[in-house]
Structures are given as C-alpha cells and as structure tokens.
C-alpha cells in the first residue's frame, strides 16, 4: 500500500513539474513574440509619424522602467543594497541598453526590419561567446567557432547585396552596420546580466539597468507636437508589451525552464519579427539575403541548442 502510494505521489509530482515547465516555456514564448513585434512597431512610428528613432528608444525605456521598478520592489522582502564592486557592471549594463536603442532603432530607420533584426539577434550570441572568453573565462568551443563562421559569412552575404548600389545601398549598408552594433550591445547586456544575477534577482538587475539607461536617453526625446492618439498608443505598447511585460514574463519563465529550453523558445523572437515584416510590410529577401539569413539562423541554433546531459542548467 505504501509503495503504490509513493508511486502515485511520484507520478503526481512529475506531472505537476511538467505542467510548471510547460507553463514557463509558454511565458518565454509569449515574451519572445512580444519582443519580435518591437521592430515593426518602431518602423511604423518612424515612417508614419516621423518620430525620431532615439525618441522611440527613450520613450520605451521611460514607460517600462517604473513598472519594472515596482515589480522588483514587490518581489523583494526588503530593500536591496548594491555592492560597490558591481557598480561598473550596472553602468555598462545601463549604457549598453541605451546603445542598443540607439543602434537598433536607427538601423530600422534605414534598412529592412527583417534583416536588421536577424543581424542583431543572431550575431549577439556569437559576440557573447567571444566576450565570455575574456570576461567570464569560458572556452570557445568548436561549436562556437563554426557558429562564428556561419554568422560572418551570413552577414557578409546580406550586407554585400546593398554595398555598391549607390546612395540607397550605402544607406542600407550603414543600417546593417548599426544592426551589428545592436548585436554587440545586446551581447554586453547578456554578459553583465549573467554576472549580476549571481548576486541579485533578475528583475532588480533589469530595473536598475533600465533606470540608468533612461537617464542616458532622456536628452534624446523629441516628440512631434501633432502626434496622434494612435501614435501615442503604439509608443505605450512598445513600453508596456515588448519591454516591461516581456521582461517580467521571461524572468518568470526562467524560474522553472532550463536555460537550453528557454534559449530554444526565445527563437520565436526573430521568427516573429521576420514573419511580420514579410507579411505586414511586404519586405522580400533577395537570393543572397535569404542565404545569408539562413546562415545567421543556423549560427544562432548552433549556439543555443545543446544536448541536455545530467542536471539541466536553470537560470
């Protein structure tokens, strides 16, 4: 009787755990889909309402920061105190968030949403792997080396299609360079976040970094006087959906999902961005751009998909 009771309890426990993991993955997928909509929303604000890219980035942070700060305060039992030795990481984190807004949204202004997003998101993990060698003493594996090769070739193929086509081509080339800068900025965000979450809660780290980034971005706010209600609603959506809510959902999901599964689930972000840009805006890849985009996705897959052996890593 005791044996059967123990077996039943074990089965019930496993079922409950699987449900929790699946719900966690669902939260991460929803967060990634939110992030994937930010590019097309920003592009619409730029082209339709003539809002400067820097203003979009600044308003996104200013709207999201109070919500993240409130969430961080609710989750903590007592007031958090940050160590002086971690200050430099918070500063780099905050400045990198600001730089991501500057580079990514300017890239969207002068280049395709799909390509700019793919370059930024798919090169970032490769930059992380390289930077981890120097800042976190992590080895560059054969998988990372192959991923670096794929991402380099893919980026060259994408950028090469518009490098020598006159003014428009040069403009798009600069946009792709900005997207690379966004990928590098996001890599710094990841490195600093990985360091800081060893000592503080993820939401408190993000909230503090967003506060610093908001201070950096405030001078760039230039909102048109005649901005319509729909324009304000899109700005509000960018701050609430793809920023505040997405980060809260993602960090909540990480509590139960392994890092590997979370990374795979987060692939919904570039998929969402590319699908929306093709379906809504009508963007189209050339043959070379399509090949380059495929190589970038393969590079990303090589980084994030690993066989789970032993105990899965939980962030």
d(CA 184, CA 95): 12
Least confident span in 28-37, 90-99, 202-211, 304-313: 304-313
Name 258's bridge partners.
314
Listed residue (112, 118, 100) closest to 53, CA to CA: 100
214, 65 contact by CB (below 8 A): yes
Q: Residue 173: its pLDDT value, please?
A: 82
51, 109 contact by CB (below 8 A): no
Burial zone of 233 (CB within 10 Å; 0-12 exposed, 13-18 middle, 19+ buried): exposed
Name the percent of the chain lying above pLDDT 90: 33
d(CA 274, CA 263): 18
Annotated domain spans of the chain: 22-304
pLDDT per position as a tens digit, 124-137: 877 887 887 777 66
pLDDT per position as a tens digit, 252-305: 887 776 655 666 666 788 888 888 998 888 888 888 878 888 888 888 777 766
């Amino acid at each position: 009787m005791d044996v059967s009771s123990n077996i039943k309890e074990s089965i019930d426990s496993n079922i409950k755990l699987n449900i929790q993991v699946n719900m966690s993955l669902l939260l991460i997928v929803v967060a990634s889909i939110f992030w994937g909509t930010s590019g097309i929303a920003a592009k619409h604000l730029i082209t339709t309402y003539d809002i400067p890219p820097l203003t979009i980035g600044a308003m996104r942070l200013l709207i999201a920061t109070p919500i993240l700060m409130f969430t961080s305060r609710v989750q903590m039992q007592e007031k958090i105190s940050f160590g002086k030795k971690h200050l430099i990481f918070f500063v780099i984190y905050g400045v990198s968030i600001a730089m991501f807004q500057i580079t990514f949204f300017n890239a969207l202004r002068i280049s395709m949403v799909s390509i700019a997003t793919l370059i930024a998101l798919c090169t970032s993990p490769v930059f992380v792997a390289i930077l981890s060698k120097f800042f976190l003493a992590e080895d560059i594996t054969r998988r990372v080396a192959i991923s670096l090769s794929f991402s380099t070739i893919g980026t060259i193929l994408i950028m090469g299609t518009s490098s020598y086509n006159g003014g428009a081509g040069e403009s798009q080339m600069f946009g792709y360079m900005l997207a690379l800068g966004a990928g590098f900025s996001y890599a710094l965000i990841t490195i600093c976040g990985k360091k800081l979450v060893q000592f503080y809660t993820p939401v408190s780290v993000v909230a503090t970094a967003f506060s610093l980034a908001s201070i950096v971005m405030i001078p760039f706010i230039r909102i048109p006087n005649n901005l319509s209600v729909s324009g304000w609603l899109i700005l509000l959506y960018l701050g609430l959906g793809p920023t505040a809510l997405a980060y809260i959902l993602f960090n909540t999901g990480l509590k139960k999902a392994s890092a590997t599964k979370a990374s795979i689930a987060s692939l919904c972000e570039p998929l969402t961005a590319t699908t929306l840009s093709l379906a809504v805006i009508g963007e189209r890849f050339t043959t070379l751009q399509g090949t380059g985009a495929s190589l970038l996705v393969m590079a990303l897959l090589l980084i994030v998909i690993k066989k789970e052996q032993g105990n899965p890593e939980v962030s």
